[in-house]
Amino acid sequence: MISTGDTLPDATLTQLGTDGPEEVRISDKTKGRKVVIFAVPGAFTPTCHSAHVPSFIRTKDQFTAKGVDEIICVSVNDPFVMKSWGEATGASDAGLTMLGDASAEFTKAIGMEFDAPPAGLYARSKRYAMLVEDGKVTALNLEESPGACEVSAGEGLLDTI
């Protein structure tokens, strides 16, 4: 599993652009930049929808004040779902970047995948938030339970950095 001090592996995520799905390389998003990446088990799932995304909408200005260039939400969902979810939560209007990791390539590469069969969730991402500076993880807050959103919330990450 990825840890503070590690360099992120490169992976390709997707977002919905004006002409359809577009590939987004993690390395392009993080090189020479200060970026927050937070991940959720699933778009539109209760804690993710009502707590996790709203916490980063609330704290976006505080992250900007700390020099963060971009806040990225990652979920093992397709880019169509991520675009709709960004619109439904107000995350897109707030300036958060919603990226899909449909094949869980990035999630598996950093060791954050898990299954929750009772909820119908397979190969999903654990709930975490990290600060990445020039591709290196400088802070990582991982939730013990996928239903919790405390240390991985915007406020929790702000307290760490």
Instruction: List the catalytic residues.
Output: 48
Q: What is the pTM of this model?
A: 0.96
pLDDT 10s digits, 81-127 = 999 999 999 999 999 999 999 999 999 999 999 998 888 888 999 99
pLDDT 10s digits, 10-62 = 999 999 999 999 999 999 999 999 999 999 999 998 898 899 999 999 999 99
For the chain, domain boundaries:
12-160
Q: Name the class of domain 12-160.
A: alpha beta
User: By CB neighbour count within 10 A (0-12 exposed, 13-18 middle, 19+ buried), where does 18 fall?
Assistant: exposed
